[in-house]
Amino acid sequence: MLGSVMSVPPIEQVCEKLAASLADGTFVRLVLSAPIRVEVGPQKVLGRCVVLKGIPHLSLTLRHPTQDLTKNLPLAECAAWLHGQLEHEFRSALLGTTVRDWQFISAEPGSARLIDHQPSRTSAPPREHDRKHMGFLDASARDWLEGLAILDATGKVRASMADKHRQINHYLEILSHLAKECGWLEAPIAGANELQAHNPPSPQQALVIADMGCGKGYLTFGAWHLFHRIGKQPVRILGVEARPSLVATSNKLARQINAKRLEFVAGSIQSASLPPLDALIALHACNTATDDAIRRGIELGAKLIIVAPCCHQQLRPQLGKPEPLAPVLRHGVMAERMAEWVTDGLRALFLEWAGYRTKVMEFVDAGHTPKNLMIAAVRESQPFQDQTIKQRIDDLKEFYGIQQHALDDLLNGA
Q: How far is CA 88 from the centre of its chain?
A: 27
Of 157-171, 176-190, 376-390, 395-409, give the lowest mean pLDDT range.
176-190
Burial of 209 (0-12, 13-18, 19+ CB in 10 A): buried
Choice between 3 and 49, residue whose per-residue pLDDT is larger: 49
206 lies in the same domain as 157: yes
Residue 317 has pLDDT above 80, yes or no: no
Buried b (16+ CB within 10 A) or exposed e, 289-307: bbbbbbbbbbebebbbbbb
Q: What's the pLDDT at 130?
A: 45
Helix residue spans in 103-148 (DSSP H): 142-147
286 lies in the same domain as 381: yes
Q: What's the pLDDT at 290?
A: 92
CATH number at residue 141: 3.40.50.150
Mean pLDDT of 295-310: 94
Q: What's the pLDDT at 372?
A: 72
User: How many angstroms separate the CA atoms of 44 and 63, rounded?
Assistant: 5
From 95, 77, 99, 73, select the one nearest 13 (Cα to Cα).
95
200 lies in the same domain as 344: yes
Q: What's the pLDDT at 5?
A: 45
12 lies in the same domain as 157: no
SS (H, E, C) 54-103: CEEEEEEEEECCCCEEEEEEEHHHHHHHHHHHHHHCEEEEEEEECCCEEE
Over residues 227-280, the pLDDT tens digits come to 999 999 999 999 999 999 999 999 999 999 999 999 999 999 988 999 999 999
Q: What's the pLDDT at 190?
A: 39
**All residues at 6 or more sequence positions from 158 whose CB lies less than 8 Å from its CB, including other chains:** 149, 150, 151, 152
Highest mean pLDDT among 110-114, 147-151, 190-194, 369-373: 147-151
Give the pLDDT band of residue 332 (cuts 50, 70, 90).
Answer: confident
Looking at the 3D structure of the chain, how many domains does it have?
2
Q: What's the pLDDT at 40?
A: 78
**All residues at 6 or more sequence positions from 26 whose CB lies less than 8 Å from its CB, including other chains:** 20, 97, 98, 99, 124
Give the pLDDT band of residue 371 (cuts 50, 70, 90).
Answer: low
Give the pLDDT band of residue 217 (cuts 50, 70, 90).
Answer: very high
Q: What's the pLDDT at 198?
A: 45
Q: What's the pLDDT at 70?
A: 86
* Length, in residues, of the chain: 414
142 lies in the same domain as 155: yes
Give the start-end residues of each E strand in 193-345.
196-197, 207-212, 235-241, 262-266, 279-286, 304-310
Give the pLDDT band of residue 364 (cuts 50, 70, 90).
Answer: low
194 lies in the same domain as 95: no
Of 21-30, 73-82, 102-111, give the lowest mean pLDDT range.
102-111
Give the pLDDT band of residue 32 (cuts 50, 70, 90).
Answer: very high
Over residues 170-210, the pLDDT tens digits come to 899 999 999 999 999 865 433 444 454 444 444 447 999 99
Give the pLDDT band of residue 126 (cuts 50, 70, 90).
Answer: confident
105 lies in the same domain as 138: no
Helix (H, G, I), strand (E, B) or coil at 239: strand
Q: What is the mean pLDDT of the chain?
A: 86
User: How many angstroms separate the CA atoms of 353 and 334, rounded?
Assistant: 28
Q: What letter would DSSP give residue 263?
A: E
189 lies in the same domain as 88: no
198 lies in the same domain as 284: yes
The vertex-191 CA angle with 185 and 193, nearest 5°, equals 75
Where does a domain end: 130, 163, 193? 130
Domain containing residue 265: 131-412
Give the pLDDT band of residue 128 (cuts 50, 70, 90).
Answer: low
108 lies in the same domain as 188: no
303 lies in the same domain as 407: yes
Q: What's the pLDDT at 133?
A: 46
Over residues 129-178, the pLDDT tens digits come to 544 445 789 889 999 999 999 999 999 999 899 889 988 998 999 999 99
Give the pLDDT band of residue 335 (cuts 50, 70, 90).
Answer: confident
110 lies in the same domain as 148: no
Where does a domain end: 76, 102, 130? 130
Mean pLDDT of 385-413: 91
Mean pLDDT of 287-294: 90
Q: What's the pLDDT at 191?
A: 42
Where does a domain end: 115, 130, 145? 130
Residue 200, preceding bond cis, omega within 30 degrees?
A: no
Give the pLDDT band of residue 369 (cuts 50, 70, 90).
Answer: very low
Residues 14/114, Cβ–Cβ less than 8 Å: yes
